[in-house]
């Protein structure tokens, strides 16, 4: 009958007495089993102080994973929101009749309207430059400081001025009456100051208000209402 070994729960049965190497192996297995039991007992004692289902290291790793998961959830929600906005914009854009959105189309129309004004101003500037160039060419043939039209108007104004000078060149004396005799040309004419006197009463202190100006309402310190009375003349029951 051949030799065989049965190992169960650290106990080895053999058909023959164990050898030295076999005995060393059994001692090693017993020491390993004792070490494992001590480690398990130590873990059970340490685990009694835990407030979580997992050990602190695993709990920390789990929290980090959950934190990363929350960030991923936030990114996913942002992606979903962007997709919903894009889908909404596509639905709205199907009703547009222009190449651009209505807001940009309005801005473009305003810019074109402003640009038309600038084109008009540029055309006006070009027209003015052409007129000035034409006037410079025409002015080369003038013999006066002013243009012929202004020279004619100036001569007419000077002629009218000369007629006015002739009209008022002769002295005009006051019309004589019973109290005033006719004044001669050689007699000196004296103009006296007008007769005036100081008005009665004190001078006015308050300014004259303009048309439509309203008086500033007063706030009564007794009743707290706006009006034309104060706490001295207040008659409201409190």
pLDDT tens per residue across span 6-57: 444 444 444 455 567 777 777 788 888 888 888 877 777 776 666 555 566 7
Structure tokens at 84: 């919903």
- In this predicted structure, what is the pLDDT of residue 3? 43
CA torsion, points 81, 83, 86, 92, in degrees to nearest 10? Answer: -80
Pairing of strands 11-14, 218-219: unpaired
Higher per-residue pLDDT: 228 or 116? 228
- Residue 144: CB partners within 8 Å, gap ≥ 6? 151
Phi, psi of 95 (to 5 degrees): -90, 0
Give tens-digit pLDDT for 107-143.
888 888 877 777 777 788 888 888 888 878 877 777 7
pLDDT at 4: 40
Q: What is residue 11's predicted lDDT score, i.e. its pLDDT?
A: 44
pLDDT for the residue 165: 84
Q: Are 66 and 74 in contact (CB under 8 A)?
A: no
What are the tens digits of pLDDT across the range 90-99? 888 888 887 7
Mean pLDDT of 205-228: 86
Mean pLDDT of 71-98: 84
Question: What b/e readout covers 145-181, taking b as 16+ CB neighbours within 10 angstroms?
Answer: eeeeeeeeeeeeeeeeeeeeeeeeeeeeeeeeeeeee
């Amino acid at each position: 009958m051949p030799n065989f070994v049965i190992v169960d729960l650290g106990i080895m049965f053999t058909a023959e007495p164990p050898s030295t190497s076999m005995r060393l192996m059994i001692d090693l297995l017993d020491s390993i089993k004792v070490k494992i039991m001590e480690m398990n007992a130590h873990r059970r004692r340490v685990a009694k102080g835990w407030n979580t289902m997992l050990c602190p290291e695993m709990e920390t790793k789990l929290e980090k994973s959950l934190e990363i998961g929350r960030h991923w959830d936030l990114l996913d929600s942002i992606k979903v929101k962007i997709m919903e906005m894009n889908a909404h914009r596509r639905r709205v854009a199907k009703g547009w009749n222009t190449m651009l959105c209505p807001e940009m189309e309005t801005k473009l129309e305003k810019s074109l309207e402003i640009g038309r004004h600038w084109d008009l101003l540029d055309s006006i500037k070009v027209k003015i430059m052409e007129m000035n160039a034409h006037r410079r060419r025409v002015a080369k043939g003038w013999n006066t400081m002013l243009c012929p039209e202004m020279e004619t108007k100036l001569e007419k104004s000077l002629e009218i001025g000369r007629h006015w000078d002739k009209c008022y060149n002769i002295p005009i004396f006051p019309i004589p009456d019973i109290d005033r005799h006719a004044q001669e040309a050689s007699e000196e004419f004296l103009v006296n100051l007008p007769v005036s006197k100081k008005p009665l009463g004190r001078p006015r202190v308050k300014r004259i208000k303009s048309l439509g100006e309203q008086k500033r309402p007063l706030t009564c310190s007794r009743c707290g209402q706006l009006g034309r009375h104060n706490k001295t003349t207040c008659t409201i029951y409190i």
